[in-house]
C-alpha cells in the first residue's frame, strides 16, 4: 500500500505531463491581492489559473519580442532554458 508521500509524488509526476509530454512546476508566493486577481480573471475567462498565467506570460512575451531584431531575440533567449 502506498504512503501519502508516495501517492503525492505520483500525482505530481502525472500533473507534469501535458499534451506535449512536458510540463514544468512553478512554486511561488505572491501578494494576496494578486492571487485574488488571478482567481477572478480565471473565473471571468472560464479558464484555470494555470491557463491564465500561461496566457499572460505568452502574450507578454509576444508583445516584448515583436519588435526585436534577430540578434536581440537571441540575447533575450540566452541563458534561460529548461
For the entire predicted model, the pTM comes to: 0.73
Domain that holds residue 39: 4-77
Q: Please report whether residue 59 resides in a domain.
A: yes
Q: 82 in a domain, yes or no?
A: no
- Rounded to the nearest 5°, which phi and psi values hold at 60? -65, -40
Report the number of distinct structural domains present in the chain: 1
pLDDT category of residue 21 using cuts at 50, 70 and 90 = low
Residue 32 lies in a domain: yes
Crossing angle for the helix pair 49-65 and 70-77, nearest 10 degrees?
Answer: 140
Give 29-59 pLDDT, tens digit per residue. Answer: 999 999 999 999 999 999 999 999 999 999 9
Q: Is residue 13 part of a domain?
A: yes
Give domain status of residue 15, yes or no.
yes
Alpha carbon 6 to chain centroid, angstroms: 25
Amino acid at each position: 500500500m502506498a504512503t501519502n508521500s508516495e501517492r503525492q509524488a505520483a500525482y505530481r509526476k502525472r500533473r507534469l505531463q501535458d499534451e506535449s509530454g512536458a510540463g514544468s512546476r512553478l512554486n511561488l508566493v505572491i501578494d494576496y491581492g494578486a492571487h485574488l486577481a488571478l482567481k477572478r480573471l480565471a473565473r471571468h475567462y472560464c479558464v484555470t489559473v494555470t491557463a491564465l498565467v500561461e496566457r499572460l506570460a505568452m502574450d507578454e512575451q509576444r508583445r516584448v519580442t515583436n519588435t526585436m531584431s534577430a540578434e536581440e531575440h537571441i540575447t533575450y533567449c540566452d541563458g534561460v532554458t529548461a
